[in-house]
Structure 1
Amino acid sequence: MDLSFAEIKRQFALEAERAAGRTLTSADQLPLRYEEITPAWLTSALVPALAPALGSESLGAEVVGLRLGEADEGTSSRRRIQLTWNDAGQRAGLPASVFCKSTFHLENRYIIGMNGGIAAETTFYNTVRPKLPIVAPEALFSRYDPASLNSLIIMRDIADEVTFGSHELTLTEEQARSQLRLLATLHARYWDSPELETELSVWNSWEKYFTITVEEAGFGPSCARGFQLAEDVIPARLFPRAEEIWPATLACVAAHQRLPRTLLHSDPHLKNWFIAADGGMGLNDWQCSSKGNWGRDVAYTISTALAVEDRRNWERGLLGHYLEQLRAAGVVAPDFDEAWRIYRQQLFAALAWWTGTLGQPPEAPKMQPAATALEFIRRMTHAIDDLDALDAF
């Protein structure tokens, strides 16, 4: 269901009226703010998800206390919750903390509500994640209200077990290959599958997701502004062709209409990856997931994850490894030359996600540090320049 921002605001106001004076005791009630969450509600939400793995050991387990961690606000509202369990919960070894993402604030429901991100991420954790043998967070509770776009996802807290990505993280070639294996597993599972229109019908196409984001957030001017602001990190040969970047971006988005579709993560920049305990890579933050061509995920991952020299040395081998993994999973994958052309073309919409971030209007909330945006723009524009990607259409 597509909602206008006016309707989202109306439903947000109605929520506040309905919530006045209530006390949450059952997971059937969706919280409207973190401060509304009670031990009884957490018991109702978490124990059913934790109990199957523990059997009788979890009988009688209850949350008897909680402490909210520091607020972390962005496109979603994030908090860690420290849990105190009763004796039964402690004996069962139930987790001492959980990590939450919500859209409790009106600002959270704006873009990721209208472009389908809220429905996509909550449904991913309920429907898709349990079926995929990939390294990704696991949700203990995931729900959204389609009328108001309020949502809450509670995940196992993996902060002490993994190293989260940043623009300063250096990956090995094997870790980069691990990224491509994860993407191939995801893509092969839904490659031109009928499930895209049945079980996965809640996901938007990548073209629609992009169009809504552009129209509602004024993304085109933001991308142009961000490209200009990043002049110091853009190759000197590419920068004078600035006026060609946006048409190429629109062309690479339009290409999804005629290319094979699958389920995409769609925002797999390095900050959304993490190094797992075994040294392999896991993928976090699925709020941009959509249905489109594999090229977006692969081009976006390789071009942001690797230092420029490493990308130059490894990218052909990485793309070949990805295609091998698809074929091993039974997919009729494109040949290397066709895949290479798609890879070059799909760099442009990946770049837009970061020139648009850097070039947000001054009054807009800053979603990412400028240093991160500039480093990713540097890496992606060097890839575009190295590969003559403007001439790939």
Structure 2
Amino acid sequence: MSRPGLDTNPLELTPDWFNQLFEEIGIDAEVKGLTAKSIGTGQIGENVRFVFDYARKGDDAPATLVGKFPSGNEASLMTAKLLGHYEREVNFYRTFTKVAGRITPTAFYTDYDPETNRFALIMEDMAPAEQGDQLAGCSAAEAERALDAAAILHSAYWMDETLDTYPWIQGSKLAPPTALNPEAIAGLWVAFKDRYGEHLTPDVVEVGDAYADALPRMPEVYPGPFALTHNDFRLDNMLFGKPGSPKPLAVVDWQTPGKGAPANDVAYFIGAGLTREERPKHELALLRYYHDRLQEEGVSGYSFDELYKDYCYFSFYGMSVAFGAAMLVKQTERGDQMFLTMLRRHAAQARDNNALELLP
């Protein structure tokens, strides 16, 4: 097969390419025509929806598929290469089968070229599922659906030492040193303040300054329980299915999977996913819901008090994602709004839970 996203413009993929793909994966169909249209506003990758016109259509032939390909923006391409985003996403779908397909779209084709950093991912189209909106936030009921997925993800590889055998996941024993050390992350905060200072209130700056100052002293190795983590577990990376859907929620953008603290994903989601007004009303109930779901999935030996302490400690992580990503990917109007909103919400989350007291 030709390699879409590697040697082909994905908007120019042909019926013949998909016919060959379908033959190789066992789908009974003959494509006679298709349309390809870019969708979404991805910061790191570009998404394309393919709509098929069939000469012959078997029962399992999809009406549409979605492809994900490298970003067309040079800054985003450089960031993806620096941080290994494309390689990780392809390897995630190939490796972690206890999660991929269960809480994600089904992947039909994956490809990655380490020489060129080009990649392609052809997957199930989740339409009419609706993408979460990071700016608007979500309801407590929607948050429970996300935390269901988090419990499935984390329990699947809870304290699983095989995670250390994969050099391409963050935090494993074989992973190379991160390209962004604590000092570099702190430097991104300084650059963020220079660019967005007029939009930052003193209380947000105070939390950011305290976190950036503490970063070089924060321990490199987290001492608590570990699992497979998403590390960008937020609303914009979630597709909420309609009532009765086979998948009530599909999590996408697996470009940053790692071996890490389960509470990190949870703190990141709750802190940025609920509005400043709604989070305090539901925060503890949602944490208890996640803890109960972990136990239902077979996890034991992790008390709620331990979870809550870890949750508080990792409330700062969302701040570093917000100001770090803002300075490393292409700048857009919505991106600016999203990163500033996330930063403010996480600063409030840290304050409300007295997390500043946990900084070294």
Contact 1:196 1:291 in 2 (8 A): yes
CA deviation string 1:47-98 (max 9, x = no partner): 44462xxxxxx2xx22222322137563112222232221x12x54623322
Residue 388, structure 1, aligned to residue 354, structure 2:
yes
Query: Which residue of structure 2 lines up, in the alignment, with residue 82 of structure 1?
Result: 51
The amino acid of 2:234's aligned partner reads H
Query: Which residue of structure 2 lines up, in the alignment, with residue 272 of structure 1?
Result: 237
- What SS does the aligned partner of 1:263 have? strand
CA distance in 2, matches of 1:104, 1:139: 19
Residue 135, structure 1, aligned to residue 103, structure 2:
yes
Aligned pairs for 1:1-393 (under 5 A) are 25=1, 31-35=7-11, 37-49=13-25, 51=27, 58=28, 61-70=29-38, 74-86=43-55, 88-89=56-57, 92=59, 94-103=61-70, 107=74, 109-129=77-97, 131=99, 134-158=102-126, 160-198=127-165, 200-205=166-171, 211-213=178-180, 219-227=185-193, 229=196, 232=199, 234=201, 236-249=202-215, 254-256=220-222, 258-278=223-243, 280-358=248-326, 360=327, 365-366=330-331, 369-393=335-359
- Structure 1 residues 275 and 390: alpha-carbon distance in aligned structure 2, compared to 1, 3 A threshold: same
- Structure 1 residues 227 and 381: alpha-carbon distance in aligned structure 2, compared to 1, 3 A threshold: farther
CA distance in 1, matches of 2:66, 2:8: 16
The amino acid of 2:144's aligned partner reads R
The amino acid of 2:344's aligned partner reads R
- What SS does the aligned partner of 1:212 have? coil
CA distance in 2, matches of 1:153, 1:321: 33
CA distance in 2, matches of 1:241, 1:197: 33
Q: CA deviation at 1:162?
A: 0.9
Structure 1: gaps (5+ residues)? 1-24, 52-57
CA deviation string 1:151-176 (max 9, x = no partner): 10011222x31111113434222221
CA distance in 1, matches of 2:211, 2:220: 14
CA distance in 2, matches of 1:32, 1:276: 32
CA deviation string 1:241-268 (max 9, x = no partner): 5432214445567243x23221111101
Q: What is the root-mean-square deviation of aligned Cα atoms in Å? A: 3.2
CA distance in 2, matches of 1:104, 1:113: 11
CA deviation string 1:216-275 (max 9, x = no partner): 9x64333233356266454x445335432214445567243x232211111012211222
CA distance in 1, matches of 2:31, 2:14: 9
Contact 2:87 2:114 in 1 (8 A): yes
Q: CA deviation at 1:307?
A: 1.2
CA distance in 2, matches of 1:314, 1:215: 32
- Structure 1 residues 326 and 290: alpha-carbon distance in aligned structure 2, compared to 1, 3 A threshold: same
Contact 1:220 1:356 in 2 (8 A): no
CA distance in 2, matches of 1:231, 1:138: 43
Contact 1:275 1:281 in 2 (8 A): yes
Percent identity, please. 23
- What SS does the aligned partner of 1:70 have? strand
- Structure 1 residues 281 and 29: alpha-carbon distance in aligned structure 2, compared to 1, 3 A threshold: closer
Contact 1:205 1:291 in 2 (8 A): yes
CA deviation string 1:289-333 (max 9, x = no partner): 122111210110100110122211111121122222222222234
CA distance in 1, matches of 2:30, 2:182: 46
CA distance in 1, matches of 2:116, 2:203: 48
- What SS does the aligned partner of 2:103 have? coil
The amino acid of 1:278's aligned partner reads P
Task: Select the structure that is richer in helix.
Answer: 1
- Structure 1 residues 154 and 215: alpha-carbon distance in aligned structure 2, compared to 1, 3 A threshold: farther
CA distance in 1, matches of 2:42, 2:294: 37
- Structure 1 residues 240 and 175: alpha-carbon distance in aligned structure 2, compared to 1, 3 A threshold: closer
CA distance in 1, matches of 2:26, 2:242: 22
CA deviation string 1:172-193 (max 9, x = no partner): 2222122112101110110111
CA distance in 1, matches of 2:61, 2:43: 29
How many residue pairs were aligned?
351
- Structure 1 residues 28 and 383: alpha-carbon distance in aligned structure 2, compared to 1, 3 A threshold: closer
